[in-house]
């Protein structure tokens, strides 16, 4: 039963807003550095970083610089980082074989970071788009993105990452059946403790543009991803996808993008009660950064407000490029 408020003036809802102390006492949600996963981009080379023009403040890092970033994250109390590889067109192929090579840049970064910062959790990305000459998350045959052959490749990719020492695998490809196939392979190859954070409800969004710049996929992509990523008009489908991935062995689930899909986050948490994450994607980050740099918004304030909205919507955590800056503010 919902409580009945006393009539005004006995009930003045502003009373609990009168001071910072009172507002803190009645605050329903809170943010901590432990709520963040920090996505970083890695590239070949030594002791170098390359700015990403469409993502102000974000760089591609060589592995040694990625290790430094991991040490920074750990010192700030950020529990996990997520590695995304930059692959130039010269290294991309139609067979995507580099995706499961033990010596690709992602797997080299996993090993280096684990050696240097063993206590930080390393999440990875499982999809073929950073390695695919066509820029798609799956193999392209006769103009179609094929499902089952792609799943076979994703399994090899997952095993290579688990062998390198990844703690959390993030299948972001949206192929049917890939969670069950990956979980089965992990179990049979003695990786029972590797966690799957599935991008279960990943929408065919226009907010991914800067990310594609960051991983070198913008010029490679032919067509769009609407045959395998979700229609932004749909919400019931997201719940079916979450239920399917959980039934196949996902430990945690992801909604992507974040802020435009808070209603999906809320429905997922209310319906399943499982660890639920959102990805505050590159386009969301770029918009806030651009507005802040132009003096149109208070950058720190909108950063923290945007992150709090994920907690209010039911998320247990968020992948965000703001992770180190937000953690520094939260740490005082």
* CATH code of the domain containing 231: 3.20.20.70
152 assigned to some structural domain: yes
What is the predicted pLDDT for the residue at 219? Answer: 62
| Domain carrying residue 279 | 33-330
Nearest to 229, CA basis, from 143, 315, 137, 141: 137
What is the predicted pLDDT for the residue at 218? Answer: 61
Q: Which of 61, 108, 256, 269 is the catalytic position?
A: 256
Nearest to 128, CA basis, from 103, 146, 110: 146
Q: Which of 61, 108, 114, 202 is the catalytic position?
A: 202
What is the predicted pLDDT for the residue at 174? Answer: 96
Q: Is 256 a catalytic residue?
A: yes
12 assigned to some structural domain: no
14 assigned to some structural domain: no
Burial of 292 (0-12, 13-18, 19+ CB in 10 A): middle
Chain centroid to CA 40: 10
What is the predicted pLDDT for the residue at 4? Answer: 85
> What six digits make up the tokens of 107?
């797997």
Nearest to 279, CA basis, from 185, 211, 181: 211
Nearest to 199, CA basis, from 41, 84, 101: 84
Specify which residues 198 forms β-bridges with. Answer: 253
What is the predicted pLDDT for the residue at 89? Answer: 87
91 assigned to some structural domain: yes
Q: What gap in Å lies between CA 164 and CA 190, rounded to an integer?
A: 13
Q: What gap in Å lies between CA 200 and CA 197, rounded to an integer?
A: 9
96 assigned to some structural domain: yes
117 assigned to some structural domain: yes
What is the predicted pLDDT for the residue at 2? Answer: 78
162 assigned to some structural domain: yes
146 assigned to some structural domain: yes
Q: Is 328 a catalytic residue?
A: no
Q: What gap in Å lies between CA 72 and CA 64, rounded to an integer?
A: 13
What is the predicted pLDDT for the residue at 160? Answer: 98
**Structurally, how many domains does the chain consist of?**
1
Low-confidence ranges of the chain (pLDDT < 50): none
Confidence (pTM): 0.95
């Amino acid at each position: 039963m919902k409580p009945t408020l006393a009539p005004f003036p006995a009930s003045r809802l502003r009373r609990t807003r009168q001071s910072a102390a009172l507002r803190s006492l009645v605050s329903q949600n809170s943010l901590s550095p432990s709520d963040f996963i920090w996505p970083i981009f890695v590239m070949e080379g030594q002791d170098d970083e390359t700015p990403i023009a469409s993502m102000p403040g974000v760089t591609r890092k060589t592995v040694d610089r990625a290790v430094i970033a991991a040490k920074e994250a750990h010192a700030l109390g950020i529990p996990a980082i997520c590695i995304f590889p930059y692959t130039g067109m010269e290294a991309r192929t139609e067979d995507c074989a580099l995706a499961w090579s033990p010596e690709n840049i992602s797997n080299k970064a996993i090993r280096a970071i684990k050696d240097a910062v063993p206590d930080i959790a390393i999440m990875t990305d499982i999809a073929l788009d950073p390695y695919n000459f066509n820029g798609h998350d799956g193999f392209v045959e006769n103009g179609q993105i094929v499902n089952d052959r792609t799943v076979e490749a994703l399994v090899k990719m997952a095993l290579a990452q688990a062998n390198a020492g990844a703690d959390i695998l993030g299948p972001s490809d949206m192929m049917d059946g890939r969670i069950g196939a990956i979980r089965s392979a992990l179990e049979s190859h003695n990786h029972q403790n590797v966690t799957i954070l599935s991008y279960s409800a990943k929408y065919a969004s226009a907010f991914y543009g800067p990310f594609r710049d960051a991983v070198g996929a913008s010029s490679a992509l032919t067509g769009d991803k609407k045959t395998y990523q979700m229609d932004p008009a749909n919400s019931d489908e997201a719940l079916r996808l979450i239920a399917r991935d959980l039934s196949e062995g996902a430990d945690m689930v992801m909604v992507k993008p974040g802020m435009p899909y808070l209603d999906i986050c809320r429905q997922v948490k209310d319906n399943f009660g499982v660890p639920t994450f959102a990805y505050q994607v590159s386009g969301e980050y770029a918009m806030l950064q651009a507005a802040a740099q132009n003096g149109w918004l208070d950058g720190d304030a909108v950063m923290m407000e945007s992150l709090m909205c994920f907690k209010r919507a039911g998320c247990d955590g968020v992948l965000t490029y703001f992770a180190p800056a937000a953690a520094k503010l939260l740490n005082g």
